[in-house]
Amino acid sequence: MRKGRNPAKSKQNNQVENTCFHQVIVPVYLPELEGYYKDGLEILKLCIESIYLTTHEETFISVINNGSCKEVKNYLDKCLEENKIHEIIHTAAIGKLNAIAKGLSGHNFELVTITDADVLFINGWQKAVYGIYQTFPKAGMVGTTPNSKMLKHFTEKVHFDNLFNKNFKFRKVKNPDDMFSFGKSIDNLAIFQEVHLKNILTIKKDDTIAVVGSGHFTGTYRTDLLKDAFNKYTSDLISPESDRIYLDKSSVKNGHWRLCTYDNFTYHLGNIKEDWMISKLKNIPKTQINELRNPISEHKSKNCFYCILAQYIVRKIFFNKYLRKYYYQYLGLKKHEAQIY
């Protein structure tokens, strides 16, 4: 039975009000707080608090509880009550990518940051990301943790488009200590050799330097590049292959570039809480204003054949294990550096 008329239908303007242009999506999977997940809730608190502190007022924060335990659910509900996040979706364990799809659904933001729940953000990350999007209209994904080993990870189009660009070259790593810390956070200190901690492939235009390539544990995407991919269903709970298909391939679709900030603005925390994480968080003031509006520049997409051809040429010639050392020398490395890079 219905009695009366829904007052929302009587409003002259009954359009959804949306003052945000940037969304942050955090899928959370903490089924228990024992064993591997023992510090999971404390790590999650660091992540959520850092996002809240470092984002401007036109950022919409969505958290998808992907089958986590009761303690995690209660904490996230409290975050919503305290207005530290804007949306919480509770589901059974449906998998990371399906959880992200729920966060994207029903929204229309220009940019979306998709981040794991064990990442700590520091001030300035949004401004740095926006600067890259404005300077390089071909950008489709921008990371915030520079990684010199990512120069060949879905970056063929960046290489192809800049073969004769004198500002496309190796530069000194701006923050080698933080890059080394990333290796420690994934329990792989051997991931970076000395040459990787000294040199990183970059592109520069005007006063903006961007790193070529990025990992996907956190990254800011052009939302329009992800919509089609996330209309699909995956049966994977979590897997590197699914991340490659849904996040990596989609972000470089139609000739877009995969880039990263030159300085480090995010820290991978892992599953063990450490004192330095608490110290970092204590030094983060709350961001008060939106420093830059509408960072997305229009990029005319290339046809698929052109992109496939560019990828084939770069992979077969410049990434060839016998030829790439000469390519790296052309981009600025010394002979002995290029041989081991």
pLDDT of residue 226: 86
pLDDT at 30 over 90: yes
**Mean pLDDT of the region 28-33:** 98
Q: How confident is the model at residue 6 (pLDDT cuts 50, 70, 90)?
A: low
Quick one: pLDDT at residue 240? 56
pLDDT tens digits, one per residue of 38-65 = 999 999 999 999 999 999 999 999 999 9
3-state secondary structure 230-282: HHCCCCCCCCHHHHHHHHHHHHCHHHCEEEEECCCCEEECCCCCCHHHHHHHH
Helix, strand, or coil (residue 333) = coil
Tell me the average pLDDT across 187-211.
Answer: 95
Q: Does 294 have pLDDT greater than 80?
A: no
Select from 42, 47, 51, 52 the least CA-distant residue to 83: 52
Residue with tokens 């900030």: 261
Compute CA distances 107 → 24, 47, 60, 97, 295, whole Å.
Answer: 12, 23, 10, 17, 18
Q: How far apart are CA 192 and CA 186, in angstroms?
A: 12
Average pLDDT score over residue span 60-71: 97
If pLDDT is split at 50, 70 and 90, which confidence band does 14 have? low
Q: Which residue has the higher pLDDT, 222 or 229?
A: 222
Mean pLDDT in the chain? Answer: 89
DSSP code per residue over 281-324: HHT-PPP-S------PPP-PPPPHHHHHHHHHHIIIIIS-TTTH
For residues 227 and 97, the model is more confident at 97
Model confidence band, residue 247 (pLDDT cutoffs 50, 70, 90)? confident
CA angle 192, 37, 59 (to 5 degrees): 75
Give the per-residue pLDDT at 301: 63
Q: Cα(200)–Cα(193) distance, rounded to whole angstroms?
A: 12
Domain chopping of the chain, boundaries: 18-340
Q: Is the pLDDT of residue 228 over 80?
A: no
Alpha carbon distances (Å) from 117 to 14, 66, 99, 114, 312: 35, 11, 13, 10, 35
pLDDT for position 17: 66
CB 211 within 8 A of CB 217: no
pLDDT, one tens digit per residue, over 95-107 is 888 899 999 988 8
Two structure tokens written together for 98: 């399906």
Report pLDDT for 234: 58
Q: Counting beta carbons within 10 angstroms of the beta carbon of residue 26, is it exposed (0 to 12), middle (13 to 18) or buried (19 or more)?
A: buried
Does residue 315 register a pLDDT over 60? Answer: yes
CATH 3.90.550.10 fits 18-340, yes or no: yes
